[in-house]
Amino acid sequence: MEQQRHQMQAEMQGEYDPITEHAEAVCIDSAEDEASSFRTRSLKRSASAMTHNETSQTAMIGVRRCHIESLDYEIPDNDIFNENWKAKTGSEALQFLISKWTMACLVGILLGFVAFMVNACVENISGVKLLSTLNFLEQDRYVVAALVLGGGNILLVLLSVCLCACLAPEASGSGIPEVKAYLNGTNAPNILSMKTLIVKVLGSIAAVSGGLYLGKEAPFVHSGACIASLLCQGGSERFNLTWKWQRVLSHDRLRRDLVTCGAAAGIAVAFRAPLGGVIFALEELASWWRSELLWLVLFTTACITVVRQVINNLCEGGKCGIFGNGGLIVFDMSEVSTNMRLMALIPALLLGIVGGILGSLFTYLSGKIMKFYSNWHRKNECVGKVLQALLVSAITSFCAFGLPWLASCKPCPSGAECPSSLPTGIYKRFTCSSGYYNDLAGLMFSTNDDVIRSLLNNNTNNEFQYSSLLIFLVSTFILTLITYGLAVPSGLFLPVIIIGATYGRLTGKFMKSYIGFDNIDEGLFAYMGAASFLGGSMRIAVSICVILLELTNNLLMLPWTMLVLLISKTVGDLFNVGVYDQIVIMKELPFLEEKPEPYMKHLTTEDVCSCPVVSLSAIERVSAIVEVLAKTNHNGFPVLETTPASPYPTLNGLILRSHLLILLREKELFFQDACDPVCYDTKSGKIDITKLMSGKGPTMSDIRLTAEEEGMFIDLRPFTNTSPYTVKEDMSLAKAFSLFRQLGLRHLCVIPRKGGPCPVVGILTRHDFMPEYILGLYPDLKISKWRRIRIRLSLFKFVRKWCC
Amino acid sequence: MEQQRHQMQAEMQGEYDPITEHAEAVCIDSAEDEASSFRTRSLKRSASAMTHNETSQTAMIGVRRCHIESLDYEIPDNDIFNENWKAKTGSEALQFLISKWTMACLVGILLGFVAFMVNACVENISGVKLLSTLNFLEQDRYVVAALVLGGGNILLVLLSVCLCACLAPEASGSGIPEVKAYLNGTNAPNILSMKTLIVKVLGSIAAVSGGLYLGKEAPFVHSGACIASLLCQGGSERFNLTWKWQRVLSHDRLRRDLVTCGAAAGIAVAFRAPLGGVIFALEELASWWRSELLWLVLFTTACITVVRQVINNLCEGGKCGIFGNGGLIVFDMSEVSTNMRLMALIPALLLGIVGGILGSLFTYLSGKIMKFYSNWHRKNECVGKVLQALLVSAITSFCAFGLPWLASCKPCPSGAECPSSLPTGIYKRFTCSSGYYNDLAGLMFSTNDDVIRSLLNNNTNNEFQYSSLLIFLVSTFILTLITYGLAVPSGLFLPVIIIGATYGRLTGKFMKSYIGFDNIDEGLFAYMGAASFLGGSMRIAVSICVILLELTNNLLMLPWTMLVLLISKTVGDLFNVGVYDQIVIMKELPFLEEKPEPYMKHLTTEDVCSCPVVSLSAIERVSAIVEVLAKTNHNGFPVLETTPASPYPTLNGLILRSHLLILLREKELFFQDACDPVCYDTKSGKIDITKLMSGKGPTMSDIRLTAEEEGMFIDLRPFTNTSPYTVKEDMSLAKAFSLFRQLGLRHLCVIPRKGGPCPVVGILTRHDFMPEYILGLYPDLKISKWRRIRIRLSLFKFVRKWCC
């Protein structure tokens, strides 16, 4: 490794180095020779690393490659901030608290209305579409029915894909991976903007009504996150006039907390599962959480539940069109007989294994298809997306209309409304004669919710035929796969539940007839199947348990649900990662896992850290700052100080790019003489620096300086974070990773082991911890992938040894 | 502050300094004058700090003051460990994984059996006791009945208190605060030992059967934690022979994870709430958690649920005595009509506020009573404890037997078995004539479970009279208060639910008759009351929601439960901390909160750090090590290294006391000449140091050295953690706290800001972050308490301004 690194350094020796020019300006009073020689070496070395590291600073957002920034959860520790903090009185802190909770409540209320709108629109549009198709079918006008269904679907999908492709590519997909990455500290442009929100909501309505096999649940999560983020920005800007204190505290941390609330509220409103939302947010989405956050999230989901209850009360009696059957429980299964004893372990085990295998297969195939789609996009972006979506929509409509012809008609059961007159009914006549129904049409000609309801339904053991369920399973599996990569807002929850419930019901039907599990309802098998496929594809545990509990209101199934989830997740993990994690990897979002990768123990911080260390002096010339800002894209700069006592400069702290830009705008802070420490104290007192630091900071293009101003100096010390976290250059990367990840840092200074001419040898950022970057530097470490396979192989060996 | 500290330092100048003697041995090659003068100064200064800090290194465990040690969750980063880590093959890692999951499963199974034993014993013993008392009453033999009840109770309580007072004082109390502190990284002796487990189980059976107002739920949590900890120790020691790899990995972290599992399993088995257990462990108990831990905990609770199901199946039909009615749901309320609309906001709000006020009152009073008891204990430990318990038992029996005489008889409702023949029935005849029942006797002469069941029961709106409920409320409140501080294993959950349900039912009765809430069942009011008192006293949110949901199987109440909990917690927080947190504070357990205290932002690490920095050289004389170990009680020592290049020594790393003791025992590692680096490489290769480092290490008394051996040297470098986390001396204490807390450290090195003669100026440990220590050093900071009150006052002002 060492050899390789030195070789790389040597290769870079000839390159142009923009920073060397002002290196003199930095170490003014220090032992100049040594310092500048060090800095040159350091710059050279890291220039090579930087080239490598560029790759991990972009990611796919929607279908475009964007520049990614890290968020900074460290509270700055500079003089200005501290003074302001000390000045904060109790009542200001209280006002902050109240406004935080008000915002959390507002997130719940707003998302509640958005969700109502989406639900009402989807149910009405698709209801009208399905009803008219069925009417034409009953009149034997097959061509017209096909045209109505196919045409309606294609128009709706066209609307959705045009919105996503042209207006906001960030809104396509489920949004959960992006929200997860945001909560991990990754900021991608536009991911939580107003435009994204609007397109997400409208696109989701159109795509779901258009009959595609996708859910509206994950888009709620993304919408909730958008609403929270917008409230945070808008709120802080709007209240700037009245509430001074909020400026300092409108920090990335508060926004992170509220975005967590919004995402949790999304799940809460999608599944009418307030607890499930809280636990999903904490288990799957949030990377950092505290018990205070737990209360805030719980409050948001309580608010949204109350809003939902109010809207449902208002909508009673058909006032909102077909939208209706309010209640808290979506798929009520509480009446299902659960006389399941220990014997139920057998189907739980079986379905768990099947779910794990199918779930990982689904993840694998969806990855392949998404790659195929994105290659297509690269060649022909806008047209490609639209064509894909239209093609998939056409295939979906063809399946919906064509496949039910394959099923034979079944006689209506006695006592049920058959064929159903409402679009929500299970018994669709389709082309059957009176008194008969087509079971496959019942599955194909319904909204996702109704399909799940009829699959989970109890006491309907002979409602579906083997052939219909099998056709439905295969077609849904394929359609979901080809739909998920499209450039439309698409959730996975409902399609996954449908697939799982279908094979669960198939298994149940088989076991009841051939193995003799007579006392278990087919609906319960469907339920366990749904749990197993959720666990196998998403690899989420506790929140899925809670969500399923709240969806079905069947507490007695809980132990079996837990077992099924544990088994399917374990089986799935043997093959690949979960579907959301796969998307995070595919989109190259710089996600910091909880634990360091094993190979990080073999590396030291020095081996990977970002260089060149472009540092500034405590009292720096304006022109030097401008140059550094213009020529690098770093966001943090170490500030070095020279004292007469020591021969070498010492580290004063770290200053952020955003703060430097503000300082350059405030020309009152400039002064003529580099050796006049008095000038700062008087000057800075005049300016309310915290006010300037809030809101959107200036960019480089906003800075206009005269030649005279450029020759002046700024005292950076009061604006410097004087105690950044530091690690030594020989600390193992795994330990540095833990520090970086646990504290949610953006910059981590690497200091030399033994002291020496320069107090900072490098800066670690999020990108330096990314596997692709590290493995790019040290390809020798890549064997770890094979090792994982070896571990899997040894598991099989172990099991075999243990069994025989 | 500065002044005060300097003054303290000056005061200590005259003291004897044991370490100065070998100061020469440390800085052999370095600029001797400067180094040794530094070390002297450093020692002097910190000697004063240490005296202060001694106070926070002990805590009340049970009722005794014990020495507290911190746990170390940092993975050591020394050569030996790294080599061993690299040598670990895939199959060894897999074996570790499998044994971890097996242990988690074992924890569930063992606790399942323990819980079954406790439940069966309690139900049978108290059932027999109550039944015979009632029989004597029916025969009008009142004195015999009173003697049976009172005598039985006193005997049982005597057994319980004798076990706790004489054998294992650690087993008294609920144990939840201790488990919480353990999971925070605090190790108290015997808190998770076999003796504690046995006394906890037996004492809990006796105390609960003895009719005291306490629950057996919290003791399950403590028992689960004990079982997990014992398995961890036993497992690793037993398997030493076969599984080499486990030695290195039998780390504090694994034990912490399994103890979390055990505690979660305790809640899961107590309330038959597997999900509630998981979420309680993660919300209330665990200080650190990862998604991997979530799966492990879920697995344990799934195991225990299956075990419970099996045992219940085996016990069907009275095979286990009175123990029975298995099922998953303890208090089934699913049939309760919940036609609660928005109007239900009013009782939710009201009960939330009442719960918050009563809960904080309860916390306040229980704190006072516990202090009173512990003063009594100090004077007369064993006898005092026994007398207290007997007194409380006598009062409880008197109330149980005496108070029902105050209630008037009510006619039996039609259609119910009245008076009940089983001890679990609600309708107790007591002294009434046939066809009548005494409602207060029904509450007083039942186990806690039955009381809750009858209070939450629906469609029994007129079963209880105002006067009976009021008498029961007051007596239960007082009895619970005086019981909770006794030296018996005692849980709070059930008494709290009883109190809450009683005032909830009272409120419901009142609102139904006078305000006209006719469509809400009294049982629902009782349920909301229970939720409010749980929230108001314990301040736990999500897990209480889940536990109540699983206890009652009534999903439709969830939104109102959430609101009630949020309100009662908010109201309660205005007055004081939750009941568990209060016990943590009272017992002086060194608990690290999630967030730094506000005043920590005003201090730097230098202001509080532990001194003297007793450091060692990289190649150190054996006698010096022995002296340092004997004369200090520090657990980590910085190892300094001197290089010819630098005038000052540099920090090589940190070595632990336990590792030093092992080195002293292994005399093969000693060598004669201080300047012979070869000798280490050959020597250490011979010894499997990781084997030595596992298991119980030697103590100072195990070390026997000859004079010749004491003159030899040891090379400490391969055993040193070469990259300890460091902070600069001018970093704000709040930031250092975040680092320390988030990473679960035991030692944090404070390095000088500007370089200089000594590379370490101090070491921060858990005790340096304790409020009592910091506020002892800087009493000026204590205003923060008043500030909190000021914030509260300003809240009232704010609300008033906002309302008017």
A53-64: per-residue pLDDT in tens? Answer: 444 566 666 556
Interface TM-score (ipTM) > 0.85: no
As a whole number of Å, the end-to-end CA separation of chain A is 44
If asked whether residues B263 and B198 sit together in one domain, one would say: yes
Interchain contact, B650 vs A754, CB within 8 Å: yes
Smallest Cα distance from A303 to chain B, Å: 9
Q: Are A687 and A668 in contact (CB under 8 A)?
A: yes
A731/B77 touch (CB, cutoff 8 Å), yes or no: yes
Together in a domain, A568 and A634: no
Same domain, B107 and B48: no
Residue B81 in any domain: the answer is: no
What CATH number is given to the structural domain containing B392?
A: 1.10.3080.10
Are residues A401 and A495 both part of a single domain? yes
Burial-class residue A433 by CB neighbours within 10 Å (0-12, 13-18, 19+): exposed
Judge if A362 and A388 occupy the same domain.
yes
State how many domains chain B has: 3
B731 found inside a domain: yes
Q: Of the candidates B538, B556, B586, which is a domain's last residue?
A: B586
| C-alpha to C-alpha distance for B538 and B532, rounded to whole angstroms | 10
Q: With a CB-CB cutoff of 8 Å, which residues 662-721 of chain B face chain A?
A: none
Mutate to test the interface with B, among A102, A280, A555 (most CBs of B within 10 A): A555
The CA distance from A623 to the nearest CA of chain B, in Å, is 28
Answer whether B86 touches A (CB < 8 Å): yes
Which candidate, A286, A256, A290, places its Cα nearest to that of A277?
A: A286
Are A279 and A414 part of one and the same domain? Answer: no
B7 Cβ contact list (under 8 Å, min separation 6)? none
Answer for the pair A788, A781: CB distance below 8 angstroms, yes or no.
no
CA–CA distances in Å: residue B160 to residues A571, B113, B488, B494 = 47, 21, 6, 19
Note the pLDDT of residue A457. Answer: 77
Q: Are B294 and A541 a contacting pair at CB < 8 A?
A: yes
B644 touches chain A (CB under 8 A): no
A466, A608: one domain: no
pLDDT for residue A797: 66
Residue A802 covered by a domain: no
Residues of B in contact with A725 (CB under 8 A): 727, 735, 739
Rounded to whole angstroms, the Cα distance separating A489 from A362 reads: 19
Assigned token pair, B710: 């004491």
Q: Which residues contact B617 (CB under 8 A, 6 or more apart)?
A: B25, B26, B27, B28, B639, B640, B641, B642, B649, B716
**Spatial distance between the Cα atoms of A251 and B268, rounded to a whole number of angstroms:** 39
Token pair 């409103």 is found at A269
Do the Cβ atoms of A794 and B90 come within 8 Å? yes
In chain A, what residues touch B248 (CB-CB under 8 Å)?
Answer: none
Chain B from 525 to 544: CB within 8 A of any A CB: 541-542
Find chain A residues with C-beta within 8 A of B562's C-beta. 274-275, 298, 301-302, 305
**Binary contact (B594, A95; C-beta < 8 A):** no
Torsions phi, psi for A653 (to 5 deg): 160, -160
Whether residues A582 and A606 fall in one domain? no
Residue B712 has pLDDT above 50, yes or no: yes
pLDDT in the model for residue A5: 39
The answer to the question of residue B37 being in a domain is yes
Buried b (16+ CB within 10 A) or exposed e, B138-167: eeeeeeebbebbbebbbebbbbbbbbbbee
Same domain for B621 and B580: no
Judge whether B170 and B63 are in contact, CB under 8 Å: no
CB B564 within 8 A of CB B348: yes
> Phi and psi at residue B642, in whole multiples of 5°?
-115, 135
Q: Which two three-digit tokens encode residue B128?
A: 């027999």
What confidence category does residue A81 fall into, taking pLDDT thresholds of 50, 70 and 90? low
End-to-end CA distance of chain B: 44
What are A402's two structure tokens?
Answer: 């064509």
Confidence of residue A789 (pLDDT cuts 50, 70, 90): low
Under 8 Å CB-to-CB from A496, ≥6 apart: which residues? A362, A480, A530, A533, A534, A537, A538
Please determine, for residue A16, whether its predicted confidence score (pLDDT) is greater than 70: no
Of A435-444, B49-58, B247-256, least confident by mean pLDDT is B49-58
Of A586, A619, A651, which residue is a domain's last? A586
Min mean pLDDT across A35-44, B257-266, B663-672 is at A35-44
Which of the pair, B244 or A608, is modelled with greater confidence? A608
| Predicted confidence (pLDDT) at residue B226 exceeds the cutoff of 90 | yes
Give pLDDT tens digits for A676-723.
Answer: 554 445 444 545 555 555 556 677 777 888 888 888 888 888 788 888
Q: How far is B243 from chain A (nearest CA, A)?
A: 14
Beta bridge partners of A713: A621, A671
Interface of A with B in 554-613 (CB under 8 A): 555-556, 558-559, 562-563, 565-566, 569, 594-595, 601-602
User: Could you tell me which chain B residue has the CA closest to the CA of A311?
Assistant: B342
Domain boundary among A586, A614, A635: A586
The domain that holds B603 is classified in CATH as 3.10.580.10
Neighboring chain B residues of A74 at a CB cutoff of 8 Å: 735
On whether the CB atoms of residues B741 and B27 are closer than 8 A, the answer is: no
Q: Which residue has the tokens 């297509």?
A: A376
Give the three-class secondary structure for B479: helix
More confident residue, B399 or B797: B399
Q: Give the A:B interface size as CB pairs under 8 Å.
A: 217
> B546 contacts in A (CB within 8 Å)?
275, 546
A783 touches chain B (CB under 8 A): no
Which amino acid would we find at residue B769? F
Beta-bridge mates of residue A60: A65
Opening angle at CA A730, ends A727 and A736, nearest 5: 40
- Would you state the pLDDT for residue A481? 93
Residue B140, SS3? coil
Question: How distant is the Cα of A42 from the closest Cα of chain B, in angstroms?
Answer: 21
- Confidence band of A663 (pLDDT split at 50, 70, 90): confident
As separate numbers, helices (DSSP H) first and strands (DSSP E) second, chain B gives 32, 14
Domain annotation covers residue B291:
yes
Binary contact (A643, B738; C-beta < 8 A): no
| Assigned token pair, B747 | 């030692």
SS3 track for A203-260? HHHHHHHCCCCCECHHHHHHHHHHHHHHHHHHHHHHCCCCCCCHHHHCCHHHHHHHHH
- A639 to chain B, any CB pair closer than 8 A? The answer is no
**Does the residue B717 lie in any domain?**
yes
Flag whether residue B113 sits within 8 Å of chain A, measured between CB atoms: no
Inter-chain touch A723–B743, beta carbons under 8 Å: no
Residue from the list B643, B739, B754 with its beta carbon closest to the beta carbon of A650? B754
Report d(CA B95, CA B64) in Å as an integer: 41
**Contact: A562, B797; criterion CB under 8 Å:** no
Residues of A with Cβ-Cβ distance to B283 under 8 angstroms: 291, 294
CB-CB neighbors (< 8 A) of A578 in chain B: none
Q: How far, in Å, CA of A86 to CA of B601, rounded?
A: 9
A341, A542, A643, best to mutate vs chain B, most B CBs in 10 Å: A542
Which residue among B283, B310, B743 sits closest to A738, beta carbon to beta carbon? B743
Q: Which of A362-366, B594-598, B625-629, B635-639 has the highest mean pLDDT?
A: A362-366
**Same domain as B191, residue B309:** yes
Q: What are phi and psi of B714, to 5 degrees?
A: -130, 140
Residues of B in contact with A541 (CB under 8 A): 294-295, 298
Residue A210 pLDDT > 70: yes
Which structural domain range is residue B688 located in? 2-62+596-770
Query: Looking at the domain assignment, is residue B77 inside a domain?
Result: no
d(CA B184, CA B543): 19
Residue A594 to residue B291, Cβ atoms within 8 A: yes
pLDDT at A30: 33
Contacts of B310 in chain A (CB under 8 A): 342
Angle at A470 between CA A465 and CA A473, to 5 degrees: 125
Q: Of A294, A306, A555, which has the smallest distance from its Cβ to B329's Cβ?
A: A555
Of A85, A542, A545, the CB nearest to B601: A85
What's the burial of A178, exposed, middle or buried (CB within 10 Å: 0-12/13-18/19+)?
buried
In whole angstroms, give the CA distance from residue B346 to residue B362.
24
Q: pLDDT tens for residues B537-552?
A: 999 888 888 888 888 8
A222 and A360 inside one domain: no
| Cβ-defined contact of B86 to A643 (cutoff 8 Å) | no
Same domain, B754 and B658: yes
Q: Left (φ > 0), alpha (ψ -120 to 50) or beta: where does A755 sit? A: left
B-chain CB neighbours of A294 within 8 Å are 283, 541-542
pTM above 0.95, yes or no: no
Residue B449 pLDDT = 80
Selected residue of A74, A562, A792 to mutate for chain B interface (largest B Cβ count, 10 A): A562
- Asked if A732 reaches chain B (Cβ–Cβ under 8 Å), the answer is yes
Q: What is the separation of C-alpha B572 from the centre of its chain, rounded to a whole number of angstroms?
A: 21
**What are the angstrom distances between the C-alpha of A155 and each of A152, A202, A219, A444, A693?**
5, 14, 21, 19, 48
By CA distance, what is B328's nearest residue in A? A556
Mean pLDDT is lowest, of B34-43, B389-398, B453-462, for: B34-43
Distance CA B560, CA B551 (A): 16
pLDDT at B64: 64
Under the banding of pLDDT at 50, 70 and 90, the label for residue B772 is confident
Q: If you average pLDDT over each of A106-110, A237-241, B604-608, B742-746, which comes out highest?
A: A106-110
CB–CB of B545 and A798 under 8 A?
Answer: no
Tokens of A197: 């929100």
Q: Is residue B496 part of a domain?
A: yes
A413: DSSP letter: P
